[in-house]
Chains A and B, each alone.
Chain A
Amino acid sequence: MSFLIFFIVTLFIAVIQTFIPYLVKRTIVFGVSIPEQYIEDHMIKKYRKHYSLSVAFLSIIILGSYIVWVLGNERVDNQIALTGVIIEFALMLISLSFYLYYHGKTKLLKQQNKWVENLKAMQVTDLSVRKQDEMLPWYVYLLPILSTVGLMIYTIMNYDILPDLIPTHWGPGGEADAFTDKTPISAIQLTLVLLIMQLMFLGIHTATKKSGIKLSATSLQASRNRQLSLRKYSSWLLFIVLLAITMLMSYFQLMMIHPEIGEGTVKMLIPFGFLLLVLVGTLIFSIKVGRSDKELETRVEARIMDLDEDQYWRGGMFYFNRNDPSIFVEKRFGVGWTINFANPLGYIIIFLPLILIFLISFL
């Protein structure tokens, strides 16, 4: 079981890492902004191809060796899990190294060819673009939040029938494997953590909605498609993942109150189904958003380009822009969002709930 889980997760990471250069925003190449006029340059195409082939090749070798290693001898679950985690990190490190290598090369290429000289930098927006935004409304979050509050009340009402030991951790098979003494706090601890997570997701949703819809002066329609699909589908994915987390944790909580519902194969299937849902959801999301700005043919007539924001992106990955009131911005290497590190609000939304969850879990 744990081999299957680790294999699927690692395969997923490998596939995503391999295809990232073809899923990112059209005018960003390895974290470097390239004017629309030059994105079809043969050197750029070559870099993309080399990156993908290298990552794919190494992934196949690593995953192949993992299979051989597991099947070759009798391995205990612990060993399989530890090795699984190590190869996942190895894969991410490998693709990061290739990214950094090609980031440097692309930067040099842009400089040597003087691509930004003689191009007028433009910033553009459409006053009606906010009306086309199709992100979910915030109040859909009330549904999981109310359900959690209800479960909390239900737990307190059934305090007498709770077991003397409250589970605090579950293994990959959905089996509780760590416990703590029964107190009114420990009884609702899991639901409390869930509630904080729900509020955190709601905070992320709201901050995303307030963040800028960045259009490109040279490919207005393509950039509009991409920004709007990124916003729409990421709000869906965020909400679906939250629903799945809510169901998973509520199930654990209910299983503690009524142990009889946790019998049979359901126990095995629920965590596995959760993982599969998150992975498949992320994959569909990445492809949908990744393709959203590639299908349109754009021709740039004027000698213009988008304002070069490379100076705000450290290593093409970390965004620091004091002037931008956005809390989240679109990632440069990958599909999704990254935080504007120059905006303190972002830290509060991400780190405050994590600290709270940490405190609840350990105090």
Chain B
Amino acid sequence: MIIQIEAESDIPIYTQLTNQIIEGIARGEIAPGDSLPSVRAFAADLGVNMHTVNKSYHELEKKGIISIVPKSGAIISPTERISEEKKQQIITDLKPVIAEALVLGVNKKEVQEFVNTILGEMKER
């Protein structure tokens, strides 16, 4: 899977990393059980600081997307049953983005098309 970081973006590099790894899993380019490169190798290959990769890995671990196993590295976790609480959290996160789109003049049908386009790129786990 290709990871592409925009160096001078407003979005911090570790967030870009986290988002791209999550999208990669959603698209099926990397699968549960696959391991991510070691922090050192990843940072060296991408040309970023080791702390940046570390921060992203910890963020992914906190979200329950990877598990960091000492010695064997970061491994993508299998899908678990999602809790109602978590679902509510996702709706809360989604709300401001959709609201912003509507306020900016996108109509509801278009929002639905956007969501469908994005879903089209990804597959269900």
**Does B7 contact A123, Cβ atoms closer than 8 Å?**
yes
Closest to A120 in B: B6
Q: Which of A97-105, A267-275, A318-326 contacts B (4 or more CB under 8 A)?
A: A318-326
Considering the chains assembled together, what is the distance between the CA atoms of A214 and B45 in angstroms? 5
**Does B37 contact A325, Cβ atoms closer than 8 Å?**
no
Q: Which of A18-26, A125-133, A148-156 contacts B (4 or more CB under 8 A)?
A: A125-133
Binary B-proximity of A198-235 (CB < 8 A = 1, otherwise 0): 00000000000011111101001000000000000000
Q: Is B1 interfacial (CB 8 A cutoff)?
A: yes
**Does A122 contact B2, Cβ atoms closer than 8 Å?**
no
**Does B47 contact A324, Cβ atoms closer than 8 Å?**
yes
CB distance from A337 to the nearest CB of B (A): 13
- From residue 1 to 55 of chain B, which have CB atoms closer than 8 A to chain A? 1-8, 24, 30, 36-37, 40-50
Q: Is A124 interfacial (CB 8 A cutoff)?
A: yes
Q: Is A121 interfacial (CB 8 A cutoff)?
A: yes
Which of B1, B5, B40, B49 meets A127, CB within 8 Å? Answer: B1
Considering the chains assembled together, what is the distance between the CA atoms of A212 and B40 in angstroms? 9
Closest to A309 in B: B47
Q: Is A193 interfacial (CB 8 A cutoff)?
A: no
Which of B7, B8, B40, B50 meets A210, CB within 8 Å? Answer: B40
- From residue 311 to 347 of chain A, which have CB atoms closer than 8 A to chain B? 323-326
**Does A307 contact B44, Cβ atoms closer than 8 Å?**
no
**Does A129 contact B45, Cβ atoms closer than 8 Å?**
yes
Given A130-B41, A325-B40, A325-B43, A124:B48 Cβ within 8 A:
no
**Does A124 contact B50, Cβ atoms closer than 8 Å?**
no
**Does B2 contact A121, Cβ atoms closer than 8 Å?**
no
CB distance from A138 to the nearest CB of B (A): 15
Chain B facing A: main interface SS: mixed
Which of A120, A124, A129, A323 meets B8, CB within 8 Å? Answer: A120
| Chain A residues, CB < 8 A from B43 | 212, 324-325
| Chain B residues, CB < 8 A from A326 | 44
Which of B3, B41, B47 meets A307, CB within 8 Å? Answer: B47
B-side interface size class: 20 to 34
| Chain A residues, CB < 8 A from B30 | 127
**Does A126 contact B2, Cβ atoms closer than 8 Å?**
yes
| Chain B residues, CB < 8 A from A213 | 44-45
Which of A120, A122, A125, A323 meets B45, CB within 8 Å? Answer: A125
Given A130-B37, A210-B40, A325-B44, A124:B7 Cβ within 8 A:
no
**Does A128 contact B45, Cβ atoms closer than 8 Å?**
no
Considering the chains assembled together, what is the distance between the CA atoms of A210 and B44 in angstroms? 8
Considering the chains assembled together, what is the distance between the CA atoms of A211 and B41 in angstroms? 7
**Does A217 contact B4, Cβ atoms closer than 8 Å?**
yes
Binary B-proximity of A244-264 (CB < 8 A = 1, otherwise 0): 000000000000000000000
**Does A123 contact B4, Cβ atoms closer than 8 Å?**
yes
**Does B44 contact A123, Cβ atoms closer than 8 Å?**
no
| Chain A residues, CB < 8 A from B41 | 130, 210, 212
29 contacts between A and B (CB under 8 A): A121-B6, A121-B8, A122-B4, A122-B6, A122-B7, A123-B4, A123-B5, A123-B48, A124-B2, A124-B3, A124-B4, A124-B5, A125-B2, A126-B2, A127-B30, A130-B41, A210-B40, A212-B43, A212-B47, A214-B45, A215-B45, A307-B7, A307-B47, A309-B47, A323-B47, A324-B43, A324-B44, A325-B40, A325-B44
Which residues of A approach B to under 8 Å, CB–CB?
Answer: 120-130, 210-215, 217, 220, 307, 309, 323-326
With A121-B7, A127-B37 known, 10 other A-B pairs at CB within 8 A are: A122-B5, A123-B7, A127-B1, A127-B3, A128-B1, A212-B45, A214-B47, A217-B4, A307-B47, A324-B43
